[in-house]
Amino acid sequence: MKKILICALKSVCYNSYLYFEDRLGSELEKLGCEVTYFRASEEPIEHLERYVGASFDAVLEFNSDLPKIKMDDGSYFLDHIQAPFYDVLLDHPLYHHDMLKQQLMDFHVICLDINHRDYILKNYPHIKSVDVVSMTGESAAICPPMAERSTDVLFLGTYTSPAEVYDAIEHCPPFLAADIKKLIDRMLLDPRLTLEDAVTDLIPETDSLIAENFPLHMQAYFLADTYIRAFLREKLIRTLSDAGVPLSVYGGDWEKMPPLSGGNVSFHESVPYADTFSLMADAKITLNIMPLFKNGSHDRIPSAMLNKSVAVTDRSDMLTRLYQDGTDLVFYDTDHMELLPQQIFSLLSDEQRLSSIAEAGYKNAKKNATWETTGQRFFDILYKNGRMSSV
């Protein structure tokens, strides 16, 4: 019997971490694993001490803080468990530098983007392996036909004020603020550019960078990533509003957004992650904007497909390999966002085309992007890197 410890020290993003952990654990159990859960929401974090000296085939957590936890003698807590540790990163690695730099004896990472994998392999040589796995969702209990869906366009996500982020940049030390602004300008000019590539290009131009400390500098420039994501998300909603696109937005803090000129956008409070699938199942189109993942995916895309909602998203290298524009999803360009409203109106005016794309997306996701396939991918990684025996 293969033994897995899944930890959950925190719960954010509408309980998406807990959802991912529960669904992953369920699939690993189906594959013959004995799964143990530790949840800080149910017991004090001090109770982790009971695992000191224990043996597992793998310990894993999403966006983990476990790597920095130390014992009284200064040694790493995870080094006192006989198991490889897997940190499943749902963001760019720059946000997790303080964890990734920890010199654990048996440290592994699973991430969502091939560029993120390459970044970790290059900058954190003590990490033994890095693999890429995409997250997904599931089909809702009720999935009505396209003609019976009450929502034309659905958008799920939290609002972050780009103006407030820019104000935070202005309060940085002048040399740092100047570098961040340069990075923002470059990345907005070339949407294909990753932050790490932009920072690399910047190194010869400024005395504020030392190439040997690249991951630390990347961490210092996180506001460039934060600003562009916030800027593009607000621009997306404003562009659709100005064009009169019927849009339903679910997520936190949208009341902080400056007033919109259009009247067809309705804002709703955030819902638990597991409840988003029924929203997708009632939506003709589910709109996505990538979190600057240039060679990765996002769970909103297969989740929409599994609920026969047409996924409309910006591109990434991974997405263009996995899907065909106009066949199983629809792509738009963030550098030509003004064209998106007409794309959406064209889709909404052709129910037969909408249904055809939704059905093709569903078949693709059912074959390649269910929790069954995701769980098998995780199992294969744990088996490859750890002590797990074959099923």
Domains 2-135+372-385 and 146-163+226-368 share a fold: yes
Helix/strand/coil for 79:
helix
pLDDT of residue 254: 95
153 phi, psi to nearest 5 deg: -130, 130
**What does R_g of the chain's alpha carbons equal in angstroms?**
22
Distance CA 317, CA 306 (A): 22
Helix/strand/coil for 125:
coil
Distance CA 325, CA 128 (A): 36
**Pick from 121, 69, 63, 126: nearest CA to 96:** 63
pLDDT at 390 over 50: no
* H or E, element range at 370: none
- Residues 304-312 have a mean pLDDT of 98
pLDDT at 59 over 60: yes
Helix/strand/coil for 62:
strand
pLDDT band at 12; cut points 50, 70, 90:
low
- 134: tokens are 């995409």
pLDDT at 207 over 70: no
- Residues 285-291 have a mean pLDDT of 97
Please compute, for residue 27, the number of CA atoms within 13 A of its CA located in the half-sphere on the CB side.
18
pLDDT of residue 270: 93
User: Is the pTM above the cut of 0.85?
Assistant: yes
Of 215-224, 270-279, 298-307, 382-391, the poorest mean pLDDT is in 382-391
- Residues 305-325 have a mean pLDDT of 98
Of 37-51, 157-171, 280-294, the poorest mean pLDDT is in 37-51
261 phi, psi to nearest 5 deg: -85, -30
pLDDT at 391 over 60: no
Q: Is 271 exposed, middle or buried (0-12, 13-18, 19+ CB in 10 A)?
A: middle
**What is the β-pairing status of strands 247-250 and 310-314?**
unpaired
Mean per-residue pLDDT over the chain, rounded = 94
pLDDT at 267 over 60: yes
Contact (CB, 8 A) for 125 and 100? no
- CATH superfamily, domain 146-163+226-368, is Glycogen Phosphorylase B; (3.40.50.2000)
- Residues 216-244 have a mean pLDDT of 96
pLDDT at 388 over 80: no
Domain boundaries, the chain: 2-135+372-385, 146-163+226-368, 165-214
- Residues 156-178 have a mean pLDDT of 97
34 phi, psi to nearest 5 deg: -95, 115
Q: Tell me the per-residue pLDDT of 108-153, one tens digit each, with 9 for 90 and over.
A: 999 999 999 999 999 999 999 999 999 999 999 999 999 999 999 9
pLDDT band at 17; cut points 50, 70, 90:
confident
Q: What is the DSSP letter of 260?
A: P
In single-letter form, the type of residue at position 43 comes to: E
Residue 261, number of CB atoms within 10 A of its CB: 8
Contact (CB, 8 A) for 284 and 149? yes
CATH number of 2-135+372-385: 3.40.50.2000
Q: Tell me the per-residue pLDDT of 317-365, one tens digit each, with 9 for 90 and over.
A: 999 999 999 999 999 999 999 999 999 999 999 999 999 999 999 999 9
- Residues 247-260 have a mean pLDDT of 95
Q: Residue length, the chain?
A: 391
